[in-house]
C-alpha cells in the first residue's frame, strides 16, 4: 500500500430500523415539540407519530415538518379547518397556497404525498 493512502477505517455496522425499539428510533431529544393545543391536537400528534414510525429519521423529520405546516395552515384559515378532516377541497386550497407562496415543485409534491398517506389514517373510521 502506498504511504500517502490512508488505510480503510473499520466501523461497526449500523443496526437496521427494524431491530430498533421505538424509543431508540425517535428519542425524545430528537423529536419536535408536541403541540399543547386544545381540540384534536393530541389525536393529530398520535396519528402523525403512528404514520412516521415506518420511515427513517431524516425522512420522518421532513414529513413531520410537512404535517406541522399543514396543521398551521389549517389554523390560519377563517374559519379554522380541522387538520384531521382532509377534504379534497381543503387540500386543493392548501396546494394553491403552497404554489402562491413560491414553494418548489418537489416540496409541493412531497407535502401532497404525505397528506394523502395521513388522510388514509384519518378517514371516516377514525
Q: Is 54 inside any structural domain?
A: yes
What does pTM read for this prediction?
A: 0.65
Please, which pLDDT band fits residue 124 given cuts at 50, 70 and 90?
A: low
CATH number at 116 reads: 1.10.150
Q: Is 110 inside any structural domain?
A: yes
Most confident of 14-18, 20-24, 28-32, 56-60: 56-60
Q: Is 87 inside any structural domain?
A: yes
Q: Is 15 inside any structural domain?
A: no
Q: Is 90 inside any structural domain?
A: yes
Please, which pLDDT band fits residue 121 given cuts at 50, 70 and 90?
A: confident
> 51-92: per-residue pLDDT in tens?
998 888 899 999 999 999 999 999 999 999 999 988 889 999
Q: Is 1 inside any structural domain?
A: no
Q: Is 113 inside any structural domain?
A: yes
Q: Average pLDDT over the chain, rounded to whole?
A: 75
More confident residue, 114 or 24: 114
Domain total for the chain? 1
| pLDDT over 90 (residue 17) | no
Structural domain harbouring 58: 39-121
DSSP the chain: --TTSPPPPP-PPPPPGGGS-HHHHS-GGGSPPPP--STTHHHHHHHHHHHHTTS-HHHHHHHHHHHHHHHHHHHHSSS---TT---HHHHHHHHHHHHHTT--HHHHHHHHHHHHHHHHHSSTT-
Determine the pLDDT at residue 50: 87
Q: Is 102 inside any structural domain?
A: yes
Amino acid at each position: 500500500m502506498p504511504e500517502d493512502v490512508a488505510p480503510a477505517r473499520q466501523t461497526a455496522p449500523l443496526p437496521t430500523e427494524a431491530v430498533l425499539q421505538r424509543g431508540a428510533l425517535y428519542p425524545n431529544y430528537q423529536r419536535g415539540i408536541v403541540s399543547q393545543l386544545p381540540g384534536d391536537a393530541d389525536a393529530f400528534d398520535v396519528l402523525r407519530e403512528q404514520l412516521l414510525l415506518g420511515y427513517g429519521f431524516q425522512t420522518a423529520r421532513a414529513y413531520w415538518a410537512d404535517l406541522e405546516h399543514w396543521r398551521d395552515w389549517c389554523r390560519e384559515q377563517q374559519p379554522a379547518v380541522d387538520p384531521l378532516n382532509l377534504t379534497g377541497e381543503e387540500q386543493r386550497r392548501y396546494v394553491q397556497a403552497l404554489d402562491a407562496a413560491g414553494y418548489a415543485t418537489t416540496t409541493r409534491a412531497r407535502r401532497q404525498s404525505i397528506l394523502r398517506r395521513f388522510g388514509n389514517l384519518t378517514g371516516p373510521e377514525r
